[in-house]
Structure 1
Amino acid sequence: MVTGASGNIGSAVVEWLTARPEIRHVTGIARRVPADRHGIDWRAVDVGTPGAAGALTGAFTGADAVVHLAWHIVAGHDRAAQARTNLDGSRAVLTALRRARVPHLVHLSSAAVYSRGDGGTRVTEDWPRRGVPGSTYSQDKVAVEDLLDRHERDHPQLRVARVRPLAVVQPAAARDLARLALGRSAPLAPLVGRLPVLPLPRATITQVSAAQDVADLVGRILLARATGAFNVTDEPAMRAPVLARLMGGRHVPISRGTLRRLLGVAWRLRLQPLDPSWADLLIDSPLLDCTRARTELGWQPRHDGRLTLLATRRAVRTATPRAAGYQKVP
């Protein structure tokens, strides 16, 4: 069972699962059943609505595992709706898991649960987990992991794994990603296509993952019945000038405060849905050490983060998500 199966990561997870002969049956759960059913069964359930636990219990009955991906990433100007999906929805998933006696849960968490990094040090899964203050996305991820801690303690028969990526992108999800970042301005994305300048602090450094590499780790966790937390990201880490070139422009150094003010003005004017805390999330999230995924599950990234970001930007520009191609590295 895959909640949020129609999204950016969900579609990649479904593709991975349906390609494996060991997986007998896959069911996708989403608020709306997509036109492209990916050859699987679907259930239309909004996990954040009252009564969702009952609907999910029926769907989960007889399942070997649940992959929980349903998430409201950007609050925009409706924090209550975000909390319903992220917090109430995750509680409903856990209630349904318990009632249906599903033995294994893989939760798509985030590197946003980690406390602030120091601008280049890679952290393992035992890094402090207090999140980024002020970021609703980060604090919801922390709250759900705390909820999982309590659930594991009270229900030790449930095997729980947590997957922690940084940004996850793919050309096939270009339109959805543009909508997340630009909100009502998303239809203008193909007209822009490239940013003439990218204003970021000099110290900015980050990583991205191809959705297919995240899906590969999720699948390996399922097949191994693995538990615990796993970092996942592609290489290399990218500093602000590289990010700017990949976005088609040049880097303009600014302070964190200036970046927050720029985002704040655009957010208050409803020009885009990212509030100022997204600047903190970008700057403060630490780089990830993925040794555990590599050594315990044999996971290896198959994509170069630079090529993935470039292909996704080109897909936004052409307004044809798959047109840019998806280059792999050996």
Structure 2
Amino acid sequence: MNYSKTQACNLNPGTTVIGKWHKKKYQIVKLLGSGATGSVYLARCVEGEVALKIGVDSMAITSEVNVLKHFSKVQGQVLGPSLLDVDDLVTNQGVLPFYVMEYLKGEQLITFTSKRGEEWIGILMVQLLGDLDRLHRAGWAFGDLKPDNLIVVGPTPRIRWLDVGGTTLLGRSIKEYTEFFDRGYWGLGSRVAEPSYDLFSLVMIMINCSYPKRFDKKGEQSLQQLKQAIEMKPGLKPYRDVMVKGLQGKYGDAQMMKKDVMTAIQKKSTHYQKSKPSHPPRTQRKVKKKSTKPSYWIEIFLVISFIILAYILYLFGQLM
């Protein structure tokens, strides 16, 4: 087979990629996505379905491989996809580097929250903040943090990362970014790789979940524009104070922000419980007989909701 470097990002379904060193064969199924450093494909091999990323820049691919290897050494939850293979593809135009990752099956973040409801935004952000905290402690910033690079897997909903192409060592300049999630675009900070850069992007992800079509910056009052966007969505209002602090870069680390998001969820749950209707006095027994059935079902709904929230908070504790 003849390849060129431009074709490396345009492999047709059915193409077989054979590693120069390990001799493993991968049959391309379809393109999953393209970025500045290469293209990611769904592929099949002896072990099953995998995600294969092939690029034209050996340095960039090596950097991503090192990040994935480092993820495997971080204690706690798995951060990114598991790294399965690293090899080269020999062509008549030169050698193209590629690596193979675990193929994560699930739903895109915005698709998931659109189906399940905005109450899941805070829950998934707590999970993401826990992962970011571990990443930052390891000396990296995610960089190009956006819904396209996130997926929700199951059966118990868990957010995972798809592409680590934008990861950057702390203190260096962010190498990849998407304007809507970039604080430099909004005039609210620099593009230096630091925890607060990722936390700004996380707030913008929350906003994007409520505004799937996104929106452009208007004028120089960016912070005021974003505050108004938060105020207009009931699903975001419980997290308003946390989100504004994240936009302003007031969090020194992800763990601090995670605790505040969890506190906001707990307050929301407590307020929900206090809004439960009280039992009518005995003197109203005759009226009660007429309203027992609807009141009964409302109470069951509230109790079930509380149990679900309590279980979610329990999961939070397991992720800390």
Same fold judged by TM-score > 0.5? no
Task: Return the index of the structure with the highest Cα Rg.
Answer: 2
TM-score normalized by structure 1?
0.23
TM-score normalized by structure 2?
0.24
Q: Select the structure with the greater relative contact order (CA < 8 A; seq sep ≥ 6).
A: 1
